[in-house]
Structure 1
């Protein structure tokens, strides 16, 4: 019979072994990445990760250890043995599900499971649609395997709790249980050092995947959730605030003291039709150096409009792209301002700026606006009307997300027949989002995820071309500025790392009947960001942009053009010299082009410090 007073150590060992097995499952699921690691990395992943695994184990053990100590004071028949099993079973299911979800989250998003999915709990259908491209049969099998293995490990390592030995008093038993409980403080903190363990303690490699693999999923989720309160000191404090502010101001110094007088428009009060394309990576757009024949309609529009072919997304999620485009506001590295209605209410917004001069507005989306808390942001922006999934007949909700793109564009065309001018209409597509369902025949061969994504982008472009063909014949077209831009890029094609600059490059085209003839066909290859579109548009409309402090007119060259972007948990800084990417957790450079200087890194750090500091104060 197992010793009663070995129960608590055995219980601790059970969870620790389970987490080590889960780490092995992660490495096997991402075998191609694991196989490419430098020699010795796998052993170091388990070795460095063991501290976080032990910390997570300690947190999960606190309640059972406390119950064990209290239960030792009770007669044997009242000992809560079933409660231990129930607690462990529930937590086992939760941890196993989180482990399996994390496997595909990392494949799709490039970071381990954290508190980010909590933003989507109020939109379960959209969450399910996002998982549409996941290998559900394989993941279900892994989940079943983990649950079965967990049950077997519990029986072998823990087993039933033996009764108190004869002549062993309850007070002594309680004391022994309390001592074990007190000892949990060591693994909880990750050791006896002054500062408790954090993510950076398990980061050991220059290869981000190796560091990510060492993390513990439940610990990472809890830590991320606790950090989202945005109280306390700025976590991205790299230098004195005065020095950081000075560096950021210098970034926005124009190349010339004279304002740019380039006029792209024939009028200062055109209609503005703002089309945001889901996941339209520049890697699929020929006019921005991407693959040919995937977006022929957008490429044709670029040839007859104004193409900005060196633009970078501010973040890597739709909600971050919306804020960057419509408010000219930068993304945050480990959260999103759109989660905080109190903060978003203080942001500037193109809708409000245009409303002041008589524009009427309408926002169109084929899915649910509540997804990722987008609706609170858009309502605060002051749109006059919204059209979303519930406003389309069931027969037209032909995608897991809602209405496909050609259905969305048809509704926009129908409504614009009676839309008062001048109008500010925003249409956000969805068909090029996972699970990449399209209602037309595939143009490109293949059934892998890249081929599905390529075909979905082709379909979205087809829907855009179909829309434009009819729109050009409408009476409102001649007085309309069309803005076509992506909400963010994508790791595909090429499975670029989460921090890759290729992932963030997106198209931006200005077109429509309101463009001056001399402006058509112009290509602007100056580096810029999504955040710069707001000021660029407002200046063309001869409207003030002072409130958009993070936005710069793309037609007025900066002394040093740049684009700053965020990923979890780090940033990239792009200039004509090249790109530097930085990981905030271990506080070190991930990659740096040869011509990039230390000053450029400091500029990126200053930008992150100042922008996040402002975000915290809102």
Structure 2
């Protein structure tokens, strides 16, 4: 019950993918009402036992003529007979989730799915590496995708010059990934004011992208989208397949060809969700994680809080060779939202705790930047600030809602030209577009990042594609359409959304999943 509230989809085999890091998985449900859930569990056990006693009564001994061999044979026959109800009847095609999907409300459909059946179905019929049933002919899908990402389908790239906003050709790059930073809590992005004063200040003095959508809904998915410019998959993630991630482009490797030295910082354990193997493949020279922090600094259920993280980064940058590409991934705004300071906002609801944890991360980022500006390297540094994904809080946005996926993206720092400060870019874009946007500013080739495009080009196409659990969303100036892959039906669609946008969303999923399967 708690995992559904946190993850937003019906329980399947996903928890088994985190068995190598159970502490982190437990932390995802760390704010669960344990007494209430335990009480419900005990009540279910008691009611089940009582119903059994009422209907069945005490067990009777077997007749003398019904021995163990006959009992074993009868058990085998019962198991064989269970095949029919398990597959839903004797029809040609067994039942699946779409047989019980009946509503446009995702929660109602999830409630109709039998959880044990869903789990076994995911374990036995796992086909995450295979493309889904195509929506259209491959050539048609590729033609549609070519309008947004021509390189992804082998089409010629449309010439479109970028606008340079950097004061130097090879600035340092400080890439900060903020855990769960939803635009709903960033005032400069149209969200609640007073929660992220540091980000709002950066937006006023840098370049603020106000219509950016995360490609997925988990940290490991956001990592791949940001550092490899690669789209997400609805029911799995490419990060779980090292043989596939080896074929992805990586910002760290691309920048290394231009002389950049790299480091990656994370206060948690990189064994979680296979992030460690991905970062090794990405070519980071030095990777700092939880075990590299002192025990006193590991003051979070996830590891070291963001205050300790930024302090470590600040210390190391004093000796870091330049130009550098340093990535820091925060974690304090992850469930269970416990931070080492008095909560900024009163209240004990989950939304209040989440809001306070976001404020804490923003506060520690502000302290870090205040000290960083005193260092000689800051004047030659481009600051990239972006979220790994959004969040259903505040407001409990639905699993497929675009509000859940909208995230902040800001370019700032001493390397920006004066005329860039305060610029607002309203172009609708994806998290995957960050990589190409950065590389084009550095005047480096971005052709390997085929699913990424320059948002600072003179004529970018306003469009974003994102995946939720077994579905996708497509965003354009006309509105948003979300599509459920299980029922193969539209979840929601804006009044002004055209059939062409719906087809483009289907084509994006079809082509991207086919690309994923071939890697």
* TM, length-normalised to structure 2: 0.95
**1:25-424 superposed matches below 5 A:** 103-156=1-54, 162-165=60-63, 179-230=77-128, 234-252=131-149, 258-424=159-325
Q: Deviations over 1:244-276 (max 9, x none)?
A: 11111123369x954223111112211110000
**Residues in 1 aligned to 2:460 and 2:176: alpha-carbon distance in whole angstroms:** 30
Q: Give the Å deviation of 1:166.
A: 6.0
Q: Residue 583 of structure 1 aligns with which residue?
A: 484
CA, structure 1 residues 375+158, in 2 after alignment: closer, same or farther (shift >3 Å)? farther
Superimposed CA distance per residue, residues 421-477 of structure 1 (whole angstroms, 9 cap, x where no aligned partner): 111100000111111111122221111000000111111110110011000110100
Matching residue of 1:67: none
Q: CA deviation at 1:165?
A: 4.1
For residues 86-106 of structure 1, give each alpha carbon's deviation from its aligned partner in whole angstroms, at most 9, with x where no partner exists. Answer: xxxxxxxxxxxxxxxxx1111
| C-alpha contact 1:228 1:335 (8 A) present in aligned 2 | no
The TM-score, its normalising length taken from structure 1, stands at: 0.80
Query: What secondary structure is seen at the aligned counterpart in 1 of 2:296?
Result: helix
How far residue 225 of structure 1 moved from its aligned partner, in angstroms, is: 3.0
CA spacing shift, 1:189–1:413, aligned 2, 3 Å:
same
Question: Is the 2:183–2:408 Cα contact (8 Å) retained in structure 1?
Answer: yes
Tell me, which stretches of 5 or more residues in structure 2 are unaligned?
152-156
Shift, 1:308, TM fit = 0.5
Query: Structure 1 residues 243, 177: closer, same or farther in 2, change over 3 A?
Result: same
Aligned twin of 2:154? none
469, 474, 478: which one pairs with 2:370? 469
Equivalent-residue separation in structure 2 for 1:144 and 1:613 (angstroms): 46
* Other-structure match for 1:529: 430
Which structure carries more helix by proportion?
1
The answer for unaligned runs of 5 or more in structure 1 is 1-102
Question: RMSD of the alignment, in Å?
Answer: 2.0
Q: Distance in 2 between matches of 1:193 and 1:169?
A: 36
Matches of 1:352 and 1:157, distance apart in 2: 67
Q: Distance in 1 between matches of 2:74 and 2:18?
A: 44
Q: Which protein shows a greater Rg?
A: 1
How many pairs are equivalent? 514
Distance in 2 (alpha carbons) for counterparts of 1:236 and 1:272: 41
Q: Using CA pairs under 8 Å that are at least 6 residues apart, name the structure with larger relative contact order, 1 or 2.
A: 2
For residue 386 of structure 1, give the secondary structure of its aligned residue in structure 2: strand
Q: For residues 383 and 362 of structure 1, what CA distance do their matches in structure 2 show?
A: 6
Structure 1 pair 404–181 and aligned structure 2 pair: CA distance change class (3 A) = closer
1:456 corresponds, among 349, 353, 357, to 357
Cα 1:483/1:182, change in 2 over 3 Å: same
Q: Which residue of 2 aligns with 1:597?
A: 498
Distance 1:518 1:147, change over 3 A: same
C-alpha contact (below 8 Å) 1:252/1:558 kept by paired residues? no
Residue number among 551, 555, 564 corresponding to 2:465 in the alignment: 564
In structure 1, distance between residues paired with 2:265 and 2:504:
37
